[in-house]
């Protein structure tokens, strides 16, 4: 009888081992997923002293709403052009953010970041930043 009982327990454990990972993965999928993409700037051939408008798309491509996160856009990773708190963004929604920057002569890397401190638990953390290069002649 003990042997029969042990076989039943073993069968139950094997069945559970197949079901449990599926259940856990489904639960992990119920999260927001912030993404950011710099979609353009104007004027397209800036000169030193021009006011450049940088347009950035911030999206929540996850399946849960997100609240209270930060958007940062910086020049050459040290000069913060804008830091903005965003109170909420619904699942599968996006916003466009326009940022003005006074052009400096030379090559510059413009970086946009959402949730820079990693405060939001997301499906993916790999799409939280984007960068472009802007050359401004003198």
In CATH, what number is assigned to the domain containing residue 119? 2.60.40.10
Residue 108: is its pLDDT beyond 80?
yes
Shared domain for 87 and 66, answered yes or no, is yes
Q: Report if pTM > 0.85.
A: no
Which segment of 22-36, 86-100, 104-118, 119-133 scores lowest on mean pLDDT?
22-36
| Same-domain status, 69 and 114 | yes
List the 106-114 sheet strands across, edge first: 79-89, 66-75, 106-114, 129-136
Structural domain including 13 reads 1-30
d(CA 95, CA 69): 13
Mean pLDDT over 124-129 rounds to 96
């Amino acid at each position: 009888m003990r042997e029969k009982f042990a076989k039943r327990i073993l069968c139950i454990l094997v069945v559970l081992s197949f079901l449990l990972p599926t259940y856990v993965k489904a639960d992990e999928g119920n999260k927001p997923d912030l993404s950011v993409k710099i979609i353009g700037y104007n004027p397209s051939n800036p000169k030193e002293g021009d006011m450049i408008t940088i347009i950035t798309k911030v999206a929540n491509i996850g399946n849960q709403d997100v609240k209270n996160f930060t958007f940062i856009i910086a020049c050459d990773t040290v000069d913060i052009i804008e830091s903005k708190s965003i109170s909420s963004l619904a699942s599968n929604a996006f916003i466009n953010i326009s940022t003005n920057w006074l052009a400096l002569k030379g090559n510059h890397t413009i970086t946009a970041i959402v949730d820079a401190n990693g405060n939001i638990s997301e499906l993916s953390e790999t799409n939280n930043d984007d960068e472009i290069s802007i050359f401004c002649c003198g």
